[in-house]
Structure 1
Amino acid sequence: MLNGLAVYSPNIVATEVLTGEDCLRVKFYKLKYDGVSTDYCVRQEAIIKLTSLTTGLNVPDAEEEAERLLKSWPDLPTGSDRRHLAAVFGAAGDYGSALVQWARLPKAERVSDRFISDEMVAFLNRLLEDQNEVSQIAVPLAARLGLERLHPSDDHTADSILNSAPDELTSAIQSLWKQPDAYSAEYRRRIASLHSAQDLLSLYSFLNSTDGQEGVINGEWRGALRQRSDDLLGRQYVAWWETRNLRMAANIRASFGNHPGARVIMIVGASHKPYLERYISLMHDVVVTDVTSYLDKQSKFH
């Protein structure tokens, strides 16, 4: 998979991750964004805690410092340069970009110094091994292509819609998922026949296909629109989802706003794909490309 994505040669890699700035916001407005910090900011808060003292920077100052360092970044950065930038990214809550710097260091250079504590070394090494799309796809892809950072582009401010909805929304939507026609027969067959890593990769491929995407839209979102209740809970659920994807699309667009002509890849959950593609395709100066045409079929996704 990485071989194929590298052939596409993106110069911006965006991820479904909240920024440190976003995490500050959802933590400050506790009632409005109840649960968001706990569910989506664990890594951000951990890395901020590990680096704020060693760098002496708070989140907004660290964001500014990271931009300043990148503007004057040397052609041949030293190990100390990369450890410093990793710590600054960490203080900004951008753990993905900190990981990119860490991954680009030779293993012998992944050591503590005045900016990187022993605890930070252990934290970054552990994150590199995490089984998620940031650690296993975004970071190694960026490092392979010689990129210096990732672009966190998720958004959970739309969760204020969920938090303002009646308490019955969760149970109402979960009941929809259990309906026999909630998802296509092909989707259910593939879920039931997962026995190997190749089966899982085949399922991922199907979910990202036109048929797979249509099945998810029909099963979850159109099903939610058909849901009947006094408060029209399904329609509130769809409003949350559309708002979240609109804001994610805006974040993706902003990631290359100062880089006309950039080649961008967004690594995101498959259920976001049809919405983001539709929204972004409406924007001027943007062409949406099917990345599957670049994947190396002979690599067997290794």
Structure 2
Amino acid sequence: MLIGLFGCSDAFAQVDLSTLDRRMAGPPTQVLVLGSVHLSGLPKDFKHDSLAPVIDRLAAFKPEVITIEAISGEQCDLAARHPAIYGAQGMAPYCRKTDAAKAATGLDAPAAIAEAHKILKHWPAAPSPAQRRHLAAVFMAANDKASALVQWLQLPQAERRSGDGLDDVLVASLEKAMLHNDESLQIGARLAARLGLQRLHATDDHTGDNVAIADEAAYGKAVQTAWEAAAAPMGQIHEREEALIKSGDMLALYRYVNRPDVLRTVVDGDFGSALRDTSPEHYGRLYVAGWETRNLRMVANIREAFRERPAARVLSIVGRTHKPWFDNLLGQMQGVEIVDAERVLK
């Protein structure tokens, strides 16, 4: 019996899916993953105009779907409804309150999400300013400020005012968002508006990385100790990034952080070092498990974003450490071709 179970290796051979789409009808979906620094960590006086060369090159790629590293309104609502799983505050660090938008529109988050889907399904080719203001208000109520900003930016300056569901509070919030250091807004929303897209797709996911740790202090110490072992090469990368940021050459910065050799060093310094942690509890492996679960769910969300758009060009803007996972996982999808970020940013 043992011979029958283990002696025949062919019975356990994996099915190779890499050539399944070899004779697929039509062109592949092209996916460009842009690894980004988190602009929120930059000084408040950071010049957003310095991102123009980056946006120009992304615009030349002509993405038809843009995804961002943000929690969707659906997931924010889900977490709030399950405090036993996600805590009393849900995902408060990642989800803003929608009370002001609800007061202005009369819509809670689920109703606003449904309304946004309904509006977009029948969206005209040449929407009026009133329609854009109304959709922006609905997006705000749906906890999707980034998509609301996409609508706001496509309004003529004279039409950026209250009305059609937007009150003065929501207008002030959108005006503030235009100045916020956030790659989802300063790259994603501005690029989408420039290309005439109607929304962004929030694809971050924190439902699977809330790892249950009995001794959080010990866990934190173990992971920090592992990181310190890789401090030298990581320090060199951070120094180079800081120099590029200080110079104001954001195109050079984005070229640098998307280089494969730089990404390999970053990934090894973070997750490779964690996997080498020798704590009896395997804290480092728990850390990596949470990270990989998050990436798997994020990639599934990205795949959903272009599910009905075969052969589309897709841009995914995400923190640069996610990029190797995204490239690998999305590259396994049928009919998907990963675009070289270095080539696009040349």
TM-score (ref. length: structure 2): 0.79
Q: Kindly tell me the number of residue pairs found equivalent between the two proteins.
A: 291
Deviations 1:27-69 (A, max 9, x none): 2333433466232113xx2xx2222122222222211211111
Amino acid at match of 2:215: P
- Structure 1 residue 84, shift from structure 2 partner: 0.4
Q: 1: distance between equivalents of 2:66 and 2:77?
A: 23
Partner SS for 2:311 = coil
- Structure 1 residue 159, shift from structure 2 partner: 2.6
Are the equivalent residues in 2 in contact too, given 1:182–1:223 (CA < 8 A)? no
Partner SS for 1:112 = coil
Q: 1: distance between equivalents of 2:255 and 2:140?
A: 33
**Which runs of 5 or more residues in structure 2 are unaligned?**
1-53
Are the equivalent residues in 2 in contact too, given 1:224–1:235 (CA < 8 A)? yes
The equivalences for 1:16-31 within 5 A come to 16-31=69-84
Alignment partner, residue 33 of structure 1: 86
Alignment partner, residue 61 of structure 2: 8
Are the equivalent residues in 2 in contact too, given 1:89–1:97 (CA < 8 A)? yes
1:166 corresponds to 2:215: yes
Deviations 1:176-215 (A, max 9, x none): 2223556356415425746724466544432211111110
Partner SS for 1:143 = helix
The structure with higher relative contact order (CA 8 Å, sep 6+) is 2
Q: 2: distance between equivalents of 1:78 and 1:274?
A: 41
Are the equivalent residues in 1 in contact too, given 2:229–2:273 (CA < 8 A)? no
Q: 1: distance between equivalents of 2:213 and 2:81?
A: 17
Amino acid at match of 1:231: E
Q: 2:151 aligns with which of 101, 104, 107?
A: 101
1:59 corresponds to 2:109: yes
Are the equivalent residues in 2 in contact too, given 1:182–1:218 (CA < 8 A)? no
Q: 2: distance between equivalents of 1:241 and 1:197?
A: 32
Alignment partner, residue 155 of structure 1: 205
Partner SS for 1:214 = helix
Alignment partner, residue 307 of structure 2: 257
Partner SS for 1:171 = helix
- Structure 1 residue 274, shift from structure 2 partner: 0.1
Deviates more, 1:177-186 or 1:74-83: 177-186
TM-score (ref. length: structure 1): 0.90
Deviations 1:250-293 (A, max 9, x none): 00000000111111000000000000110111111111111332
Q: Percent of pairs identical after alignment?
A: 41
Deviates more, 1:249-258 or 1:59-68: 59-68
- Structure 1 residue 97, shift from structure 2 partner: 0.6
Amino acid at match of 1:28: R
Q: 2: distance between equivalents of 1:273 and 1:192?
A: 20
Are the equivalent residues in 1 in contact too, given 2:226–2:276 (CA < 8 A)? no
Q: 2: distance between equivalents of 1:126 and 1:275?
A: 33
* Distance change (3 Å), C-alpha of 1:204 and 1:9: closer
Question: Greater CA radius of gyration, 1 or 2?
Answer: 2
- Identify, as 1 or 2, the structure richer in helix: 1
Q: 2: distance between equivalents of 1:158 and 1:234?
A: 16
1:88 corresponds to 2:138: yes
- Identify, as 1 or 2, the structure richer in strand: 2
Q: 2: distance between equivalents of 1:32 and 1:212?
A: 36
- Structure 1 residue 221, shift from structure 2 partner: 0.7
Q: 2: distance between equivalents of 1:195 and 1:148?
A: 31
RMSD of aligned residue pairs (Cα, Å): 2.0
Alignment partner, residue 37 of structure 2: none
The equivalences for 1:211-290 within 5 A come to 211-290=261-340
1:49 corresponds to 2:117: no
Are the equivalent residues in 1 in contact too, given 2:63–2:312 (CA < 8 A)? yes
Are the equivalent residues in 2 in contact too, given 1:103–1:143 (CA < 8 A)? yes
Partner SS for 2:275 = helix
Are the equivalent residues in 1 in contact too, given 2:258–2:341 (CA < 8 A)? no
Q: 1: distance between equivalents of 2:124 and 2:173?
A: 26
Alignment partner, residue 300 of structure 1: none
